[in-house]
Amino acid sequence: MARKSRRNQKRKKRLRLFFILILVSYIFILGHMEINRRNVENTYHRLFHVDSVNKNEDDWSLVLVNKWNPILTPSEMKLTEVGKGQFVDERIYPYLQAMFDDARKKGIYPIVASGYRTQEIQQSIYDEKISAFKAQGLSSKEARKEAELWVAIPGTSEHELGIAVDINADGIYSKGSEVYEWLANNAHRYGFIQRYPSNKTDITGVSHEPWHYRYVGEKVATEIYNQNICLEEYISYMNK
């Protein structure tokens, strides 16, 4: 009996050691993955930093704005109303209107849900998003982190440039999914790009937004569309 008891104790020790090794390995793998994630993110931060990308400051349609590249100087623009109290830079209005006209000919009825925003309006939207996540039980730090995946930090929003729009369906003749599909396949023909694709979040810093479109001009938009890249990648390539 004593010999059997010792064998059982040895077996239990081996099992404990085995589980400890598994736990240590698991922690090591998680830590390694987090380090890799941070390294990738830091690489993108360096690659797409304002000092290396915004060589196109004179080209108003290609100025890069994201969480790492704030708006350096307020844009000089004349605003044009596009309906429902929304405004855009008048320079993109003809292309936006042409895109909407052609969509309607195909039975698709888009509207501009959000156009130009002042920094004050962006701040309000940002604060509301943080409050919404805190109401779900997240800490202030967690809520801010989640909010920044969906709402740009004030001073880093393309809406403040006047050349980005959130496009939705009219809710009567079209559904959102129909509008998003048509835009994804056709917006580049009018100089617009889907700014935050689903497979580029690590680069753009923003979760997928099938409604957010940014004007870059037909030539650039077509290149970005054909190569399946985002604006950060395009500008980085052009600046090499």
150 located within any domain = no
More confident residue, 38 or 117: 117
In this structure, the answer to whether residues 42 and 161 fall within a common structural domain is no
Set 81, 178, 209, 223: catalytic member: 209
Find the Cα–Cα–Cα–Cα dihedral 188, 199, 207, 96, rounded to 10°.
0
Cα separations in angstroms, 128 against 87, 125, 196: 22, 5, 21
In this structure, the answer to whether residues 25 and 94 fall within a common structural domain is no
Domain that holds residue 214: 56-117+157-238
Which CATH number is 227's domain given?
3.30.1380.10
In this structure, the answer to whether residues 36 and 62 fall within a common structural domain is no
Counting beta carbons within 10 angstroms of the beta carbon of residue 37, is it exposed (0 to 12), middle (13 to 18) or buried (19 or more)?
exposed
Residue 128: closest CA among 109, 144, 149: 144
Per-residue pLDDT tens digits for 47-75: 444 444 454 445 899 999 999 999 987 76
Per-residue pLDDT tens digits for 138-149: 999 999 999 998
- Residue 13: pLDDT above 90? no
Per-residue pLDDT tens digits for 124-139: 999 999 999 999 999 9
In this structure, the answer to whether residues 31 and 61 fall within a common structural domain is no
CB 195 within 8 A of CB 164: yes
- Residue 211: pLDDT above 70? yes
34 flagged as catalytic? no
In this structure, the answer to whether residues 89 and 169 fall within a common structural domain is yes
pTM here is: 0.76
In this structure, the answer to whether residues 43 and 80 fall within a common structural domain is no
In this structure, the answer to whether residues 234 and 187 fall within a common structural domain is yes
- Residue 39: pLDDT above 80? no
In this structure, the answer to whether residues 107 and 205 fall within a common structural domain is yes
- Measured in degrees and rounded to the nearest 5, phi and psi for residue 225 equal -65, -50
133 located within any domain = no
In this structure, the answer to whether residues 43 and 71 fall within a common structural domain is no
The mean pLDDT of the chain is 85
pLDDT attached to residue 46? 45
Residue 190: closest CA among 115, 103, 106: 103
